[in-house]
Amino acid sequence: MPLLRSWVESANTPDGPFPLNNLPYGVFSVDDGDLRCGTAIGDRIIDLTGLEAAGTLRADPDADVLDAPYWNDFMELGAEVWARYRDTLQTLLAENADEATQDALTFYSVPLSAATLHMPFKVSEYTDFYAGRHHAQNVGTMFRGPENALPPNWLHIPIGYNGRASSVVVSGTDIRRPWGQLKSPEHDTPAFLPSRRFDIELEMGAIVGHPSKRPVTVQEADDMIFGYVLLNDWSARDIQAWEYQPLGPFQAKATATSISPWIVTKAALEPFRTDTPVRDFELLDHLKDAGPMLYDIDLSISMAPDGQTPSTIARTNYDQMYYSAAQQLAHHTTSGCPMNVGDLLGSGTISGPSKPERGSLLELSWGGKEPFTLETGETRTFIEDGDTLTLHGAAQGEGYTIGFGTCTGTVLPALDDPFAGDLS
């Protein structure tokens, strides 16, 4: 599919993240005003809450669904409404739209640079997976050796854990270094200290837009997904190393999970579908691919020490995943576990086969044994206070780019006393 041209001229550049082909959904405010639902087009945000109130563009003729500061109510209307609304929006913003339409949408728009972006949806539940083979192979090799790197079940099911929906935050939110119980190899007893091996994980997040009450097929699962965000699963590796036996990660993953502010719809990503990798073992029928279920999305990580120039420290692609979001979602439902509108599924760390493609500092520094050098000349093994970590993602089309907005967070020092202050 080539670039779809818009009367918003800034949307017609090949490297801009928000062409007419994209139209991602988010929540914004201006000058501390009300939070409103909008879509990004070029260098502007169209105020869709305002268009709904004016009667210019409504998803539901009988009810306001964009008057709340999240997209959950819209998602609940279902896939037919998602498609019809997007088609209408594209028509209104296409270059051949009449002058009255252009004037109306210009009135209900603001410069992207003037807006503050907020959480685009209410997270109902959050599940994070461990579904990138290169990441799993690297981490397993570090801790168990190459011959036992992958658990016996890994090539047969998507492994995951249930995380904390309450700790999911929007890009730009500062992240406080966590305290936790740590145990070093030199000491027999643990100590309660700030994490010394704080890390990130480069992931994609899939948003469930349709509920389920029974197990679903992979195709049904794919149909349930509303869209995708960049996702950074902040991870305290020293807390994780002490706690994860025998039930897996817990507090190490509960500090925060950052997501990008724009939901890129599954419809916008259709031209970029690609297949999952060749399997070592044939999957059971309920997990078999129902077609190309991954996406060709270029991803990267940059690190900026304490306000300095950012350095790109890794580049990879979402097509490196072993399991797709649809397979993860289908597997999640096999026990009868209900899925809700607004559920968030983290893909797991996305790493490629070579060192520059590793999606975590744990891998880039090989467990802290191989420091890497930034463009500033500084070296890192794990995150230091003041470091800003940013995830980037884009799918490259024919003369256009589908962008997500960045997913960024700056790490603040641990609290002097984590038990002092107001409980709220």
- Cβ pair 65, 74 in contact under 8 A: yes
- Cβ pair 232, 391 in contact under 8 A: yes
Q: Which of the four pLDDT bands, split at 50, 70 and 90, describes residue 187? A: confident
CATH 3.90.850.10 residue ranges in the chain? 126-412
The pTM of this model reads 0.97
**In the chain, % of residues over pLDDT 70:** 100
- Is 187 part of the annotated catalytic residue set? no
Q: What is the pLDDT of residue 224?
A: 98
Q: What is the pLDDT of residue 325?
A: 98
3-state secondary structure of 233: strand
- pLDDT higher than 80, residue 186: no
**In the chain, % of residues over pLDDT 90:** 95
Compute the distance between CA of residue 113 and CA of residue 203 in angstroms, rounded to an integer. 26
On average, the pLDDT of the chain sits at 96
Length in residues, the chain: 424
Rounded mean pLDDT, 302-311: 94
Does the 126-412 domain belong in CATH 3.90.850.10? Answer: yes
Q: Which of 118, 134, 135, 210 is an active site residue?
A: 135
- What digits encode the pLDDT tens for the residues 371-407? 999 999 999 999 999 999 999 999 999 999 999 999 9
CATH top class, domain 9-118: mainly beta
Q: Which of the four pLDDT bands, split at 50, 70 and 90, describes residue 245? A: confident
Rounded mean pLDDT, 176-189: 88
- pLDDT higher than 80, residue 30: yes
H or E segment and range at residue 137: helix 133-144
What end-to-end distance do the CA atoms of the chain give, in Å? 49
- What digits encode the pLDDT tens for the residues 129-157? 999 999 999 999 998 999 999 999 999 99
- What digits encode the pLDDT tens for the residues 63-100? 999 999 999 999 999 999 999 999 999 999 999 999 99
- pLDDT higher than 90, residue 248: no
CATH 2.30.30.230 residue ranges in the chain? 9-118
